[in-house]
C-alpha cells in the first residue's frame, strides 16, 4: 500500500513514469499534487483521463477528456467542469472536486447548485468556515431544506450560535417530510448540547462526539497507528467496564460478528456476564451489542435504527466515513486494524480474548480517570443517547463532521 506520509510529490514527469510502470496509486498521488498547483496544465488532465481509464472509471475518464479543448487548453466551460467535479464527489476525490468547482465558481459565481455542491464538498474536507460562504450564497438564491441543514451544521461546527438559532427557525418552516422534521429536532438537540460548552475555548473529539451525536467516547486522543495492539484495546475496555458498572443494568454481552467476538468475550468476563451472539431484535434481554468497526453494521443497520431499552450498541472504532447510524458508546473515532483482522486469526477468538484479558490484568485501576469520565457525562446524561430511549426515538446518522 502507498505510504503517503513518506512519499513526496514528484510532479508530472514522475506521475507519467509511474503510469508507464503501472504504479497507479503513486501516479495518482503525484498527479493530484501537481494538478492542484497547475490547474491549466492540459497534459495533467490528459493523464488523469488515461489513469481513470486504466482504473476502469470510464465515465470519469471521458469527463477528463471533455475538459481538454481542441486548442490544447483546459476548458473554461462551467458545465463540463461542474459535471466532472460532481463525478469526483461520487468517487470521494473531494480535493479534486473542490478544485474544479472553485474554478467553475469564478465563472458563474451565483449558481445555487454549484455553490451548494462546492459548500458540501468543503464540508466533507472539514473546511466548515469556507463552506459557509458558498452555502450562504446558494441559500440566498434558492432556499432549500438541504442547504439550510448543511449551513446549520457548519454554523454549529464553527460555534456561531446566534446564526445557528436564526437558521433553525427557517429550517423548521422549510421542513415538509417526516425525515426533514426529524432532522430539525436533531439539530435542536445539537444546539442544546453545544450550550454546555459556552465558556470553553476549545472542544476536543469527546466534546464533539457528544455535541453532534450524543455519544459517549472513551478515547478522545488521536491515534499513533492504524494497527491496534492488545494493550490499547484493553485500556478502552477498562474504561468501558468502569462506565458500565456505574450506570448499567445490562444482563448479557453479545457480539455482532466474529471480528467483534474477542472484545465481547473479554468484556463479558470482566463484567461477569453471559456471552451470546447477536440473534436479531426483540430477544428480551438487556444486551450490550459489541461491534468491531462502524461499517460492519451497514448491511442490517435498519434493525438498529430505533433506540431500545433492551439493547445498546458499543462500537470499538468509528471511522471518518459517514454511516447510516451512530452508536451510544464509542471506543475511539479513527478506523483501526485489530490484531485478528485476518482470516487466519479471526476464528481463534478464544486465544485473542485471553490475550485481551491478560492485557487488562496489567492495567492498574485508575480511579481518578474513571471518576473524571463519569463526572463528565453525568452533567450531560439528559442528552446522551445512552439509556435515553424515551428522549430519542431513532439514532442520528453519523455524518463524520467532527473537526
Residue 25 has pLDDT above 70, yes or no: yes
Q: Which three cell numbers stand for residue 170?
A: 427557517
Residue 281 has pLDDT above 90, yes or no: no
CA distance 358 to 356: 5
Residue 346 has pLDDT above 70, yes or no: no
Look over the chain and give the mean of its residue pLDDT values, rounded to a whole number. Answer: 90
231 or 5, higher pLDDT: 231
Q: Please, what's the b/e burial string for 17-42 (b: 16 or more CB within 10 A of its CB; e: otherwise)? A: ebbeeeebebbbbbbbbbbeeeeeeb
331, exposed or middle or buried, with CB in 10 Å at 0-12, 13-18, 19+?
buried
13 pLDDT band (50/70/90 cuts)? very high
pLDDT tens column, 167-220: 999 999 999 999 999 999 999 999 999 999 998 999 999 999 999 999 999 987
41 pLDDT band (50/70/90 cuts)? very high
Sequence ranges of the domains in the chain = 1-108, 123-201, 214-383
350 pLDDT band (50/70/90 cuts)? confident
CB 40 within 8 A of CB 69: no
pLDDT tens column, 235-266: 999 999 989 987 678 999 999 999 999 999 99
Which pLDDT does position 194 carry in this prediction?
A: 95
Domain 1-108 has CATH 1.25.40: yes
Fold of 214-383: Rossmann fold (3.40.50)
pLDDT tens column, 119-154: 999 999 999 999 999 999 999 999 999 999 999 999
Residue 1 has pLDDT above 80, yes or no: no
Which pLDDT does position 5 carry in this prediction?
A: 45
Which pLDDT does position 6 carry in this prediction?
A: 46
Residue 345 has pLDDT above 70, yes or no: no
| Prediction pTM value | 0.88
Which pLDDT does position 128 carry in this prediction?
A: 97
Which pLDDT does position 224 carry in this prediction?
A: 58
Beta bridge partners of 311: 287
Which pLDDT does position 156 carry in this prediction?
A: 96
Amino acid at each position: 500500500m502507498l505510504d503517503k506520509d513518506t512519499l513526496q510529490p514528484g510532479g508530472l514527469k514522475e506521475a507519467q513514469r509511474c503510469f508507464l510502470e503501472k504504479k497507479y496509486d503513486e501516479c495518482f498521488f503525484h498527479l493530484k499534487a501537481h494538478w492542484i498547483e497547475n490547474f491549466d496544465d492540459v497534459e495533467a488532465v490528459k493523464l488523469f483521463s488515461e489513469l481513470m481509464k486504466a482504473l476502469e472509471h470510464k465515465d470519469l475518464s471521458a469527463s477528463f477528456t471533455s475538459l481538454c479543448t481542441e486548442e490544447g487548453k483546459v476548458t473554461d466551460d462551467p458545465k463540463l467542469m461542474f459535471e466532472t467535479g460532481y463525478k469526483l464527489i461520487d468517487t470521494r476525490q473531494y480535493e479534486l472536486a473542490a478544485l474544479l468547482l472553485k474554478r467553475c465558481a469564478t465563472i458563474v459565481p451565483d449558481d445555487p447548485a454549484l455553490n451548494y455542491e462546492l459548500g458540501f464538498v468543503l464540508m466533507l474536507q472539514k473546511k466548515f468556515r469556507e463552506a459557509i460562504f458558498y452555502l450562504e450564497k446558494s441559500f440566498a438564491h434558492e432556499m432549500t431544506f438541504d442547504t439550510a441543514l448543511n449551513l446549520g451544521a457548519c454554523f454549529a461546527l464553527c460555534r456561531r450560535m446566534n446564526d445557528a438559532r436564526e437558521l433553525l427557525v427557517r429550517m423548521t418552516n422549510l421542513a415538509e417530510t417526516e425525515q426533514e422534521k426529524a432532522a430539525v429536532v436533531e439539530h435542536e438537540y445539537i444546539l442544546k448540547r453545544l450550550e454546555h460548552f459556552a465558556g470553553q475555548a476549545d472542544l476536543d473529539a469527546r466534546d464533539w462526539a457528544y455535541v453532534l451525536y450524543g455519544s459517549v467516547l472513551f478515547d478522545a486522543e488521536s491515534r499513533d497507528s492504524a494497527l491496534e495492539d492488545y494493550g490499547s484495546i484493553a485500556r478502552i475496555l477498562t474504561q468501558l467496564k468502569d462506565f458500565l458498572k456505574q450506570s448499567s443494568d445490562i444482563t448479557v454481552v453479545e457480539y455482532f460478528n466474529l471480528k467483534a467476538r474477542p472484545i465481547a468475550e473479554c468484556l463479558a468476563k470482566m463484567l461477569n456476564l453471559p456471552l451470546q451472539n447477536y440473534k436479531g431484535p426483540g430477544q428480551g434481554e438487556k444486551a450490550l451489542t459489541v461491534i468491531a468497526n462502524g461499517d460492519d453494521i451497514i448491511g442490517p443497520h435498519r434493525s438498529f435504527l430505533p433506540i431500545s431499552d433492551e439493547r445498546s450498541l458499543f462500537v470499538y472504532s468509528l471511522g471518518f466515513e459517514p454511516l447510516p447510524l451512530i452508536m451510544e458508546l464509542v471506543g475511539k473515532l479513527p478506523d483501526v486494524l485489530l490484531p485478528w483482522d485476518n482470516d487466519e486469526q479471526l476464528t481463534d477468538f478464544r486465544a485473542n480474548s485471553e490475550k485481551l484479558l491478560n492485557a487488562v490484568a496489567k492495567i492498574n485501576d485508575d480511579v481518578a480517570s474513571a471518576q473524571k469520565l463519569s463526572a463528565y457525562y453525568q452533567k450531560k446524561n439528559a442528552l446522551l443517547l445512552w439509556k435515553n430511549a424515551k428522549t430519542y426515538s431513532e439514532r442520528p446518522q453519523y455524518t463524520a463532521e467532527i473537526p
